A and B are shown apart, each in its own frame.
Chain A
């Protein structure tokens, strides 16, 4: 076992982990932060996306030991200080950007990373950025609309509808 220390959602945390402990397992099982979902566990689906030092990564494909000393942000840290939903989360609610909700934590974290990098993405850019986030309800249209709305842009009438 090795001791790891990291800042998770602004709070210093530490724990003992095995070499093989994944960051997703550390967050869910050690820290009780079960908002980060494990969908496929093969780095395909993106339900486990968190930010490590500000960058979106798949937490099921990173070892907890590799995140030692890092700043980690998860879905639990996304709400505003007063507990209200942040602009992306609110847009997902307003535009019905979730059906079963399983992929939503990863979608929101990927959307946050996209909007930090590209504050006014086009619809095509949103879809391209979400290539590694799979919604098995196939609710992509409303997810895209939510992200467009969260970026302060007009919500497009989507061609495929």
Chain B
């Protein structure tokens, strides 16, 4: 790693100030960032560790909305259970030691094209809360590793509407434990949303055709006539674009069946 300074602010305001330095980088749990730094793929001047910011910790349920502090670990979300499909998703990220460090804001800020949380946020219609504004999930994800965040902006919390029914199905790529394909299905009061991770070169995306069919008939058979185009799907040594496109439909069906 190239060397850098480490700052541990105690409040969001202090963190925002610390992020004001050129090439400062926010540090969540570091489970992606530290390996990236070891490969010298990034050279921040300063890491602003967010794990000591008390305002960014914890989970609160307000009616049908779950608010999760940005510095909340995967293990804490897994243990919470107020939004069962989300807790189940968190319980399957990485391995136990990774889940004890990795955070929800870290995952969403990185927007890895095969990460699990982006699918949950997009399918649930979550709101990403930063130190300056609120961003709807539909506007937040802008492609592989790309988000609506501005330079120095910090995700302080995420607000999830708790759906009537939801499920996440992850086809695990066993070496990385990321999703080869993951599909999150959420049945909300105003319709069904389906978000797919791991499959596309554009990162997480909504499968709107399936959403239409499932909003009329929330059963796996509603997907029978549909197919997913392999255009712009990821091809790598773990699976071809055609294989991933096929998996999207299979995993969506499984998620619907499990959520029903």
Instruction: List 19 additional contacts besides A22-B34, A61-B34, A129-B96; criterion CB under 8 Å.
Output: A2-B6, A20-B1, A20-B4, A20-B37, A43-B98, A46-B97, A56-B96, A56-B97, A58-B97, A61-B31, A63-B30, A66-B8, A66-B30, A68-B8, A110-B97, A131-B95, A132-B94, A132-B98, A133-B95
A19, B97: Cβ atoms under 8 Å?
no
Q: Chain A interface: which size bin?
A: 20 to 34
Partner of A58, one of B47, B51, B98: B98
**Residue with the greatest number of chain A CB neighbours at <10 A, chosen from B2, B31, B95, B101:** B95
Q: For the complex, is A65 an interface residue (Cβ under 8 Å from B)? A: yes
B95, A132: Cβ atoms under 8 Å?
yes
A20 CB contacts on chain B under 8 angstroms? 1-4, 37
Interface size on B, residues (CB 8 A): 27
Chain A to chain B contacts (Cβ below 8 Å), 29 pairs = A2-B6, A19-B3, A19-B4, A19-B5, A19-B46, A20-B37, A42-B35, A43-B31, A43-B34, A46-B95, A46-B97, A56-B96, A58-B98, A61-B30, A61-B31, A61-B101, A63-B6, A63-B27, A63-B47, A63-B49, A65-B8, A65-B49, A66-B30, A66-B49, A110-B96, A131-B95, A131-B96, A131-B177, A132-B94
Q: For the complex, is A62 an interface residue (Cβ under 8 Å from B)? A: yes
Q: How far is the CA of A49 from the CA of B94 in the complex (A)?
A: 14
Q: For the complex, is B38 an interface residue (Cβ under 8 Å from A)? A: yes
Q: For the complex, is A5 an interface residue (Cβ under 8 Å from B)? A: no
- Chain B residues with CB under 8 Å of chain A are 1-6, 8, 27, 30-31, 34-35, 37-38, 46-47, 49, 51, 75, 94-98, 100-101, 177
In the complex, number of A-B residue pairs with CB atoms less than 8 Å apart: 74
Partner of B101, one of A42, A46, A57: A57
Q: For the complex, is A113 an interface residue (Cβ under 8 Å from B)? A: yes
Interface residues of A in 31-48 (CB under 8 A from B): 41-43, 46
- Chain A residues with CB under 8 Å of chain B are 2, 18-20, 22, 41-43, 46, 49, 55-58, 61-63, 65-66, 68, 110, 113-114, 129, 131-133
Instruction: Return A18 CB to nearest CB of chain B, in Å.
Output: 5
Interface SS majority for chain A = mixed
Instruction: Return B6 CB to nearest CB of chain A, in Å.
Output: 4
**Residue with the greatest number of chain B CB neighbours at <10 A, chosen from A19, A55, A114:** A19
Q: How far is the CA of A114 from the CA of B46 in the complex (A)?
A: 35
Which residue from chain B places its CB closest to the CB of A114 in the assembled complex? B96
**Residue with the greatest number of chain B CB neighbours at <10 A, chosen from A61, A63, A65, A131:** A61
B95 CB contacts on chain A under 8 angstroms? 46, 131-133
Which residue from chain A places its CB closest to the CB of B37 in the assembled complex? A20
Instruction: Return B56 CB to nearest CB of chain A, in Å.
Output: 15
B100, A57: Cβ atoms under 8 Å?
yes
Q: How far is the CA of A131 from the CA of B176 in the complex (A)?
A: 11
Q: How far is the CA of A160 from the CA of B198 in the complex (A)?
A: 32
Q: How far is the CA of A41 from the CA of B1 in the complex (A)?
A: 12
B100 CB contacts on chain A under 8 angstroms? 55-57
A65 CB contacts on chain B under 8 angstroms? 6, 8, 49
